[in-house]
Chain A
Amino acid sequence: MNGVHDMGGAHGFGPVEPEPDEPVFHAGWEGRVFAMAVAMGMTGEWSLDASRYARESLPPAQYLSSTYYEIWLAALERQLADLDLVAPEEVVAGRSLHEPRPLARTLPASEVAASLGRGGPTTREAPRPARFTAGDRVRARNLNPATHTRLPRYVRGHVGTVDRVHGCQVFPDTNAHGLGEDPQWLYAVRFDARELWGEDAQAGVSVSVDAFEPYLEPAS
């Protein structure tokens, strides 16, 4: 979706402000939100791609004025409500008002280390050979789905070079919406800054994005 989360190249956000000796969490609630989002993700009720979509589809003004973990909290609440796991009135009440829905699995403390260690592998067996190889010139297609995609706007329509073939991976565009994993070849595609930003772009700069095969077409 063409949302405000797709920030590459936007102006006006000001300088980057590193914080010396920054803590991992700036308040106790941030850690709780982080942990709840991870633990609920591990129930398998939704995919990581679906979580990203829930965050990026918050109202634009809310997204831009929220801190990072406020975004996580709002998206988590929305996902819980959409899947009939926690109703909004239950969050207001601070207690369960409806029968819980049975979950396929939950994350007990004894499983945390093993579960984090396993992670969520996204590599899949290739259903077909790769269409592109390193060195190929490719154009990022001009795609504008209203649904989840990982093709940033700033590369659409531009020509780059395949830098690496990463393998075949779960396709977020379908997986985010429960439409299956539909594994696709993934490539690092490198674009010269002048191709992306015009003649005034910084010299000697290039930008690589990781692009799934359906995002690309051959360029001669």
Chain B
Amino acid sequence: MAEAHTHDRHEGSELTETQLRVRALESVLVEKGYVDPAALDLLIETYETRVGPHNGARVVARAWADEDYRRWLLSDGGAAIAALGHVGRQGENMVAVENTPDVHNMVVCTLCSCYPWPVLGLPPVWYKSAPYRSRAVADPRGVLRDFGVELPADTEVRVWDSTAEMRYLVVPMRPEGTDGWSEEDLAGLVTRDAMIGTGLPRSPR
């Protein structure tokens, strides 16, 4: 697929065909009483401002800071994540998988764009793109290199293709040098890509 951001960038100029079509469709749906435009505004606002990777970062930080929570998260991801308030659409069946010195996990949806919305928000363009969907399952180490991540050759790579309604959250390894850190500070090290498995947490230094 083409990159989304190549479209629709000329702000202030004439409307594109797609913009006009989307406006027309919305007008018809509203006129027929099928959609409430205020509900559309709220749906957009929810994923632009409230639901995003900062939610997942708090889950990971809690798991790093609290051993009981970590065990709960790995054995019943749905309940442990719900306990922090992250529930709902596209997160109905959550599974958390943990990276260790021996195992690195990476999540993809080769068939469409399945992604754990309540903890990560909506997926980035690259996650939905043909390059990622095609290569993550056959060349995961090459994909990791595209992200600047080189794993030790003896680290096992486990790819999870989200082909059904299970949604996966990667729990990355806690960075060295963070002993005694608060959950809030730890959460600041957890990136979106680290929770997909295409990145690593930020370094504390």
Contact = CB atoms under 8 A, between A and B. Distances in A.
A and B part of one assembly: yes
Interface string B34-69: 111011111110111000100000000000000000
A118 B89 CA distance: 7
B92 A40 contact: no
B134 A27 contact: no
A86 interface: yes
Contacts of A181: none
Contacts of B42: 109, 112-113
Given A68-B125, A186-B166, A32 B131 contact: no
A39 B111 contact: no
B5 interface: yes
Given A8-B133, A207-B137, A212-B164, A94 B93 contact: no
A197 to B, nearest CB: 6
A112 B43 contact: yes
A33 B22 CA distance: 7
B9 A186 contact: no
A19 B44 contact: no
A143 interface: no
A62 to B, nearest CB: 11
A17 B126 contact: yes
A120 B159 CA distance: 25
A69 B41 CA distance: 17
Contacts of A115: 89
- Chain A interface residue bracket vs B: 35 or more
Contact of A69 (B4, B6, B33): B4
Contact of A24 (B22, B32, B47, B91): B47
Nearest to B26: A32
Interface in A42-94: 43, 52, 55-56, 63-71, 73, 76-77, 85-86, 90-94
A39 B23 contact: no
B14 interface: no
Contacts of B198: 16, 18
B88 A116 contact: yes
Nearest to A19: B125
B140 interface: yes
Given A86-B25, A205-B140, A11 B92 contact: no
B138 A9 contact: yes
A141 interface: no
B43 A13 contact: no
Contacts of B113: 68
A34 to B, nearest CB: 7
Interface stretch (B150-158, B171-179, B182-190): B150-158
Contacts of A64: 1, 130
Contacts of B95: 164, 166
Nearest to A167: B93
Nearest to A74: B21
Question: Quick one: which of A73, A85, A197, A209 has the most chain B CB within 10 A?
Answer: A209
A94 B28 contact: yes
Interface in B12-33: 18-19, 21-29, 31-33
B163 A166 contact: no
Interface of B: 1-9, 18-19, 21-29, 31-36, 38-44, 46-48, 52, 87-93, 95, 110-113, 121-122, 124-126, 128-141, 143, 146-147, 153-166, 193, 198
15 contacts: A10-B130, A13-B129, A16-B198, A25-B44, A32-B26, A52-B112, A65-B1, A86-B32, A91-B21, A92-B24, A96-B31, A116-B88, A117-B89, A152-B163, A172-B164
Counting from the closest, the 4 A-B pairs by CB-CB distance are A27-B8, A100-B32, A8-B110, A94-B24
